[in-house]
Structure 1
Amino acid sequence: MPPLYRKSKILRRSRILWASPALWRPRLVFWCGALAIGLVSVAFAKLADLAQHLFGRVTAAGPHGDLVPLLLTPAGFALSAYLALRFFPNSQGSGIPQAIAARHLHEDRDRQRLLSLKVAFGKVMLTLLGLFSGASIGREGPTVQVGASIMLAVARFGGMAQARGLILAGSAAGIAAAFNTPLAGIVFAIEEMGRAYEARSNGLVLTAVILSGLAALGLSGTYTYFGLASIGPGSAREWLLVVVCGVAGGALGAGFSGFALSLGRRIRRWMQPLPLRRSVLLAAGCGLAVALIGLASGGATFGTGYEQARGAIEGQALPPFFFLEKLLASFLSMISGIPGGIFAPSLAVGAGLGSSLGLALGTSITLAATLGMAGYFAGVVQAPMTAFVIILEMTGNHDGVIAIMGASMLGYLTSRLLQAEPLYHGLSRSFLAAAMRQSRAEEQEARPDTAETGAEDPRPVKKSDA
């Protein structure tokens, strides 16, 4: 066969292949899904701001408006917990643990229990309800679950089979669009979501982040989350601040995550006889406590804490004990079981911690707040690269790159010494075990021999599934 003929035959085959709908349909569906994540993230952000604004207006109206949270916050917490457990199971909490757990499941029906469009809708609506009720929660973690759910849904429509990589891509796109931090989205996918990261997911993650970021930029424009704050340590006292913020933030973050995991296990055991009733009672009690803390702090601990953190980055010192009040409000909001993330509240806690340390050492409040965020956030999530990159992108502080990196690493190391298990991965175990138990229960009901005779499932049960 002449070489020219072989070459023309290969070209004809390649043209047919590239023109094939079977080749382009999955790509087009994936690209549309990534753009949808960006659009949903921007809409979610605007609605979250509106929910917080409405809460502020309600509590400021009338002569006794400051007492409204004593009724609104517990009622909102209780309603959110009821709706989450009754109509949108697996929408509780941050949403990042659900995405992590879904990556370990092998069956599509099991993954759909944690990541579906129904769960995503409930996550958005109930997070907005929590913010309207004054909960100390954020929208960034929920955006991760929403992004992963959208990506899996469009993958099923487009016939794509790379479920683990698509969950990574959707999660990264959600973080990138929520914070306008594309690099942080990629680093988050590698470091936090995928401890066993596959190199073949690189293209999926990068493409999803680019397209969701373009959609977000098209609606919101170019901006940095906390504005611009270009300042680095220039004296021995400021370098000492790097160490202090890293170690103190890491210790505080380890305490938060360790206590949350320990208390969470006890709460799940306590709920077993009457899960719905006890979930609502717990949420109402936590809501009342959050309301009391909010009133004691003058309303500073309600909501995401974005305004307080931004003020500290701009050089406005926060009250000395704001970080403790915000930490307690965030902890109560988390263990209440209502949908909502801890990203933004953690940044506010870190900014408050840094502000207090900066006041004590007589250093720049802007630098101290930035380093406090890095140390505390790295201590909570035990992901130093994510903490460093996300804070660098949110503040645009390129003069303090080494200092932010140092505080993040010290926060991580201190947290690892005090608390071995990362928070999100520890929380993901309960969702993973629940999904597997439900799957086995459905299989037993489907088999007439076990359903009618009561025979035991012959498969061994692993301790990790319990």
Structure 2
Amino acid sequence: MSEHPEPETGVEALLSTQVWKRRAALWGGAVLVALAAILFARASDFAFSLFQRVLHASPWWVLALTPAVFALVAWITHHGLQATRGSGIPQVIAGLEMDADERQRHLSLKVASAKLVLTVAGLLGGASIGREGPTVHVGAGLMQALGRALGFRGEHQARRFLLAGGAAGLAAAFNTPLAGVVFAIEELSNSFEHRVSGTLLTAVIVGGVVSLAVVGNYTYFGRVHALLPLRQAWLAVPLCGVVCGLAGGLFSRLLLEAMAGRPRWLGVLRARHPVLLAAACGLLLAGLGIAFGAGAFGTGYEQARGLVQGQATVGHEFGLVKFLANLVSYVAGIPGGLFSPALAVGAGLGHNLSLLLPAAPASALVLLGMCGYLAGVTQAPLTAAVISMELTDNQDMLLPILATVLLARTASSLICPLPIYKALALRLLPPAPATPRQGAA
């Protein structure tokens, strides 16, 4: 028998105890997700500050610390916590299509809690990872656990709670309620064509508002006063859109190839010696940091903020170094997200491209580079555009940003036809049964 969802509107909805119970559960869950996201953010910042102390004491210490942490986290994930690996967004997308038992294996409260702890551990080792994707994973797991505890166990209800929890997690992680709404519609919901209700979107907004109330109405990168004058300066739009989109598509393609076991030696090493692979990746990351500077480690927030504010603390090699650091950290098979490090790479690329257009404001190109590269990696242009505007409190760049992300999405698809989160989500799902050829016996 198919499950019939409760009505969202009308007199029946207003008088339905079950509908109001579900709404209260979603809205209350969004508050819990926001509080968990704030705890996660503060724990992550504290862990990375400890790593920076070690780095400042002696850069050579990281040659031991980073490989050791990578190896330990990989060993833990290899022993029963495989579902915590990677960003977490693919797990949520795949969870929308999984049966109840498989969904619970990837999105249980145990997995969500371990995801939080292991991501913090990765930052303690200087991993070039973000917490936003893991916050989506944690939010979805927490919201699903609450829904199950309150009796909402049907397939339709489970998907609703997953969507709300994941999107509320992103809204709270970046302090960007509107981006959480767009993310729910574009990345999570549209990935498998699930309907997004008004109640669900309200839950996402509640999560973002709670974050604003607790930590204040701050802007992630600070207020960016950037304008892109018409005429020659608008050459920045196609330049950033195409270059950063291609770079984002290349990153996604390389990452998906690695996850698929290519080249063959990497696939064999991943299958037989995952802990050794993680340690080797940690050693490579430590080498990048020692050779090119501290920007290789962590989310890259400080460096990206400096670039977008016109107060660069890194050289023009930063974008490429961060690109490699992100790739190495993700290939290691440890938990960690892509959003913040991708913004840092985009900022570095925009900084490089500003050399080609001296007539355009450098901060404007950095901002376009950020949104263009993020759109290239995720192939979610609206989410990239809204996040970039909310993170910088800049609406003056709306049209250039929208044009850039659309170009970046198109350029990225030339190199990586399938969006990275959807491709990784499909790897978690059982293969679709083969369709018999027409006319076959």
- Report the equivalent of 2:3: none
Distance in 1 (CA, whole Å) between partners of 2:332 and 2:113 is 20
CA-CA distance at 1:141 after TM superposition: 0.3
Distance in 2 (CA, whole Å) between partners of 1:117 and 1:269 is 35
Aligned match of 2:113 in 105, 117, 121? 121
Distance in 2 (CA, whole Å) between partners of 1:213 and 1:78 is 35
Which residue identity does 2:385 align to in structure 1? F
- Report the equivalent of 1:150: 142
In the superposition, relative to structure 1, how do residues 23 and 235 fare at CA in structure 2: closer, same or farther (>3 Å)? Answer: closer
CA-CA distance at 1:29 after TM superposition: 2.7
- Report the equivalent of 1:326: 322
- Report the equivalent of 1:449: none
CA-CA distance at 1:138 after TM superposition: 0.3
Which residue identity does 2:216 align to in structure 1? G
* CA displacement 1:303-352 (0-9 Å, x = unmatched): 00000111111012441111000000000101110000010000000000
- Report the equivalent of 1:285: 280
Query: Structure 1 residue runs of 4+, over 4 Å off?
Result: 17-20, 267-277
In the superposition, relative to structure 1, how do residues 271 and 429 fare at CA in structure 2: closer, same or farther (>3 Å)? Answer: farther
In the superposition, relative to structure 1, how do residues 313 and 271 fare at CA in structure 2: closer, same or farther (>3 Å)? Answer: closer
Q: Is the 8 A contact 2:73 2:122 kept in 1?
A: yes
- Report the equivalent of 1:253: 248
CA-CA distance at 1:108 after TM superposition: 1.3
Q: Are positions 1:462 and 2:430 aligned together? A: no
Distance in 2 (CA, whole Å) between partners of 1:263 and 1:275 is 9
> Per the alignment, in what secondary structure is the counterpart of residue 128 of structure 2?
coil
Aligned residue pairs: how many?
418
Distance in 2 (CA, whole Å) between partners of 1:341 and 1:273 is 24
Distance in 2 (CA, whole Å) between partners of 1:136 and 1:340 is 8
Distance in 1 (CA, whole Å) between partners of 2:80 and 2:284 is 26
- Report the equivalent of 1:298: 293
Distance in 1 (CA, whole Å) between partners of 2:229 and 2:427 is 46
Higher-helix-fraction structure: 1
CA-CA distance at 1:194 after TM superposition: 1.9
Identity %: 47
Distance in 1 (CA, whole Å) between partners of 2:283 and 2:266 is 19
CA-CA distance at 1:30 after TM superposition: 2.5
- Report the equivalent of 2:94: 101
- Superposed, which structure 2 residues align to 1:35-114 within 5 Å? 35-61=31-57, 65-105=58-98, 107-114=99-106
Which residue identity does 1:90 align to in structure 2? A
CA-CA distance at 1:28 after TM superposition: 2.9
- What TM-score, normalized to structure 2? 0.90
Distance in 1 (CA, whole Å) between partners of 2:267 and 2:251 is 24
Q: Is the 8 A contact 1:30 1:158 kept in 2?
A: no
> Per the alignment, in what secondary structure is the counterpart of residue 233 of structure 1?
coil
- What TM-score, normalized to structure 1? 0.85
Distance in 1 (CA, whole Å) between partners of 2:210 and 2:181 is 17
Aligned match of 1:233 in 216, 225, 228? 228
In the superposition, relative to structure 1, how do residues 118 and 312 fare at CA in structure 2: closer, same or farther (>3 Å)? Answer: same
> Per the alignment, in what secondary structure is the counterpart of residue 182 of structure 2?
helix
Q: Is the 8 A contact 2:289 2:296 kept in 1?
A: yes
* CA displacement 1:414-435 (0-9 Å, x = unmatched): 11122211111111122223xx
Q: Is the 8 A contact 1:230 1:400 kept in 2?
A: no
> Per the alignment, in what secondary structure is the counterpart of residue 300 of structure 1?
helix
Q: Is the 8 A contact 1:346 1:377 kept in 2?
A: yes
Q: Is the 8 A contact 1:246 1:409 kept in 2?
A: yes
CA-CA distance at 1:19 after TM superposition: 8.9
Q: Is the 8 A contact 2:285 2:325 kept in 1?
A: yes
Unaligned runs of 5+ in 2: 1-10, 436-441
Unaligned runs of 5+ in 1: 1-13, 437-460
* Structure with larger Rg: 1
* CA displacement 1:216-260 (0-9 Å, x = unmatched): 122101111111113221153321111111100011011110111
CA-CA distance at 1:205 after TM superposition: 2.6
* CA displacement 1:350-380 (0-9 Å, x = unmatched): 0000011112321322101100011111111
Distance in 2 (CA, whole Å) between partners of 1:268 and 1:340 is 23
Distance in 2 (CA, whole Å) between partners of 1:273 and 1:245 is 37
Distance in 2 (CA, whole Å) between partners of 1:216 and 1:207 is 14
Q: Are positions 1:386 and 2:383 aligned together? A: yes
Q: Are positions 1:360 and 2:322 aligned together? A: no
Which residue identity does 1:134 align to in structure 2? G
